[in-house]
Amino acid sequence: MEKNQILAEVQEIFREVLDNEEIVLNDATTADDVEEWDSLTHIQLIVAIEKHFKIKFTSKEILSWQNVGEMIDCIARK
């Protein structure tokens, strides 16, 4: 799957889980840029992404992402 396509789908998941239609993601977006994205909602996002793409991340992968781009790369590799 194209990374742009993944980014669009991840953005949709973010909007749904965080209940904010105005969220716009790019590769450089971090938790500091999205008000509702914190350590708690992070887990809800991961569960929703895993369910959507039918994949499973490892703990180390989840804990090593610095921004959305690294998360997208990880999804693309799966």
Partner 1 sequence: MVFNSLSFLLFFTVVFLIYWFPLKNTTKGQNIFLLLASYFFYGYADWRMLPLLIIATLIFFYLGKAISGAKTEKQGYWLTFAGVALGVGTLLYFKYFNFFIESFASLFNAIGLQTNLHTFNIIMPLGISFFTFRLLSYIIDIYRGKAEPTNDIIAFGAYVAFFPCLLSGPIDRPAFVKQLQAKREFNYEQAIDGCRQILWGLFKKVVVADNCATYVDKVWGDIGGQTGSTLVLAAVLYLFQIYADFSGYSDMAIGVGKLIGFKIADNFKFPLFALNIADYWRRWHITLTQWLTDYVFMPLNIKFRDWGNWGMILSIVITFVLIGMWHGANWTFALFGLYHGLLYIPLILSGAFFKKTKLKTNKLGLPVAKDFGRMILTFVLVVIGLILFRADSVGQTLEYVSSICDFSILKGPWLINRLYYIPQFIFIAIMMIAEWQQRTKEHGLVLDQIPSKILRYCIYGILVILLIWVGGHAETFIYFQF
Residues near partner 1 (CB under 8 A): 35-36, 39-44, 46-47, 59-60, 62-64, 66
Read off the tokens for 3.
Answer: 């990374």
Could you tell me the sign of the dihedral formed by the alpha carbons of 68, 46, 8, 78, in that order? Answer: positive
Residue 9 near residue 70, CB atoms below 8 Å: no
- Smallest separation (angstroms) from partner 1 to the CB of 2: 25
CB of 40 to partner 1, least distance (A): 6
Q: With respect to partner 1, which residue has the nearer C-beta, 17 or 25?
A: 17
Which one, 62 or 76, has the nearer CB to partner 1?
A: 62
